[in-house]
Amino acid sequence: MKISEIICEDESAEGQLAGSSLDSNLLPVLMFLKKQSDDRKVTPKLRTDSLIQLVQNAGDLSFSYDDLVAAHENNDAVKELISSFNEDEITLKSGNSDADDEEHESEGPAQDPQTVVHNMAKKARNNREQ
């Protein structure tokens, strides 16, 4: 028995995938870079030619800057991952940046470490005296 007799491929699915093949390698690369930067808690920035090279290494050898622009204009998932880009640099949206900004705002202004320790010691002494 041949494998072609067992597997029945859906021709319509191939047609649907052909229209989105432009983004098929770009999206996983962008998601990987975003996840990696979120894990390291850094701002996800990279050179545009580096992203193009990563997408080409993922299998889309003809990927170019024009394809990136077209994907950004036509694909909402790409728009959600890319904050801004130009011919030199790409900045991805970070999931950590909003949470980190809120944490830092709620902490208030930074204080001198000696003052903080002094205040903690004073509070502990007052608690012991009561």
In a domain, 101, yes or no: no
Which pLDDT belongs to residue 21? 53
- The answer as to whether 71 is a domain residue is yes
Return the higher-pLDDT residue of 109 and 72: 72
Rounded CA separation 64/31 (Å): 18
pTM (global) more than 0.85: no
Read off the pLDDT of residues 9-18 as tens digits, 9 standing for 90 and up: 544 434 433 4
89 occurs within a structural domain = yes
How far from the centroid of its chain's Cα atoms is residue 90's Cα?
Answer: 11
Q: Count other C-beta atoms under 10 Å from residue 125's C-beta.
A: 9
Domain that holds residue 53: 11-96
The full length of the chain comes to 130
Instruction: State pLDDT tens for residues 90-124.
Output: 998 877 544 444 444 445 566 788 888 888 899 88
Structure confidence at residue 102 (pLDDT): 42
Q: Identify whether 111 is part of a domain.
A: no
In a domain, 122, yes or no: no
* Residue 15 vs residue 69, higher pLDDT: 69
* Number of domains the chain contains: 1
Residue 38 within any structural domain of the chain: yes
Judge whether 108 lies within some domain: no
Q: Which pair of tokens denotes residue 50? A: 């580096």
Residue 123 lies in a domain: no
If you ran DSSP here, which 8-state letter would residue 110 be given? Answer: -
